Structure 1
Amino acid sequence: MPSRQKKVIFCLAGVLSFACVLVVAAAMGTPFWVKGTVLCKTGAQLVNATGSELEKFVGKISYGLFHGQRLKQCGLGGRPFRFSFFPDLLDAIPASLHVSVILFCSVLIVFSSVASAFFMYNAFGSPYETLQGPLGLYLWNFICCFCSCLVMILFASEVRLHRLSEKISNYNEGSFVYKTHTEQFDRSFWIILFTFLAHGLNILLIRMAGIQFPFQEAKEADVNVGASDLMY
């Protein structure tokens, strides 16, 4: 492939990696990872609410990695309330799992930045080592894909398996019990999926630039050595 086309491909991949840095950093600070509704179970049972009457006992909740907000509905009107995970909810949530999600998001930002820098370096510079050369680009993007997968898996398990929305809703509630009514992942969560797909696309762009996969190249070298040994 002509060097000009390689430069264009590497520049496009570098821009994608830098876009991943920006969107993940923005997503970490927003309270739009999960949104849903929460039913005030105690209030609904007290008046035996059914059908359309349940709407008076269904509040809203949305949160991210650091903060969020909820609207309590127990038949007496909505009561908005803002909360922060650190340090308020550390005793109520699986703190180690939550911190792991934040940690891998930070690692994802760091390695996306590294991938973007090395794409630009390979487009306009003269790489001279494996980690700085074209083959090293596979490494950085595989790490980014791995980190984005971990973020989605860990956060999904925290929300679904550990019932994070219910724990947040019932925090410091002495007389009322809340239960998750509806729950879905919001746009900030799906940004992580976009990041995974973007780095997967970068891997394809590297291959389109004519750079063989590292393991494929090593395998071909082993086959050639074995054939020469048989001949001599």
Structure 2
Amino acid sequence: MPSVTKIIHFFLSALLTAISVGLLGFAMSDDWSRTTMDCRGFIINNGSAEITLGLFNGLLVRQTCPSFGNYKDFSVFTELSVIKGASLALHALCVALLVLCLLFSALSILISLYNSVSNPYQTYMGPIGVYTCSSISACLSLLVIILFVLNINVTDMQEQLVPQIGSIDTENLELSNKKSTMLVGYFMLIPYTVLSLGAILAIYLYDHAAYMHRREQEKPTEDAPKEIMMY
């Protein structure tokens, strides 16, 4: 049976990771970005288009672009599969990395709970397993943060989605002044990453304390009184 200290630290690690999984699940179901663009058509020269993107669903709002107001829900992967190219690849990569984040976080929870009720050896089922799984989750989430912003701001994904979803003649349409804003779903990756690192810290503090305790027990005899060492 593990000590009370070990139970507390590993259970805390499992709790932090479980909270991070809940945040990531919420993030994957919420909106990630909103982009607005000025729209110039062949007849009407002042309009706008606003496209809100989640990981799986989106919403296009057009104001005189080129026709009057129009709202249309769409499936992100369905529309991106028509465009193909870098936009689809980056978006699919982000989703795949987030799925891996969930997987490694789940493994981290299982290993932490296992250590809170047993005393496994220092293998992948011990602190090393938590370090590995939680650090991979944190690194992958940081990579998603970078890739998603690049896909939104560097590629022309939105400029291609607006005429495609709205069934607009691209020859009579000019989109300009693109402005993108990251939304709640995207920012939820930050606390997810922080909590994953917090789970690592909880295990590290226990591991370090246990190491120092072992060192104290294995203290060399040179610390003993000289009179005793003479015999």
Deviation at 1:99, TM superposition (A): 1.1
Change in Cα spacing, 1:185 to 1:83, as seen in structure 2 (3 Å) is same
Deviation at 1:129, TM superposition (A): 4.9
Deviation at 1:110, TM superposition (A): 0.4
- Paired residues of 1:59 and 1:78 also in contact (CA < 8 A): no
The answer as to 2:168 corresponding to 1:173 is yes
> Which residue is 1:209 aligned to?
206
Structure 1: distance between partners of 2:176 and 2:72: 17
The answer as to 2:54 corresponding to 1:64 is yes
Structure 1: distance between partners of 2:199 and 2:40: 48
Aligned positions, number:
201
SS in 1 for 2:202: helix
RMSD: 2.3
Structure 1: distance between partners of 2:94 and 2:56: 11
Structure 2: distance between partners of 1:84 and 1:142: 32
SS in 2 for 1:34: strand
Deviation at 1:155, TM superposition (A): 1.2
Q: Which runs of 5+ in 1 are unaligned?
A: 50-56, 213-232
Worse-superposed segment, 140-149 or 180-189: 180-189
1:116 to 93, 104, 109: 109
Deviation at 1:156, TM superposition (A): 1.3
Deviation at 1:167, TM superposition (A): 2.4
Q: Which runs of 5+ in 2 are unaligned?
A: 210-231
TM-score of the aligned structures, taking structure 1 as reference length: 0.77
Q: Give matches, 1:100-179, under 5 Å.
A: 100-171=93-164, 172-174=167-169, 175-179=172-176
Structure 2: distance between partners of 1:89 and 1:135: 40
SS in 2 for 1:62: strand
Structure 2: distance between partners of 1:211 and 1:136: 16
> Which residue is 1:84 aligned to?
75
1:188 to 173, 176, 185: 185
Structure 2: distance between partners of 1:149 and 1:84: 25
TM-score of the aligned structures, taking structure 2 as reference length: 0.78
Identity %: 23
SS in 2 for 1:132: coil
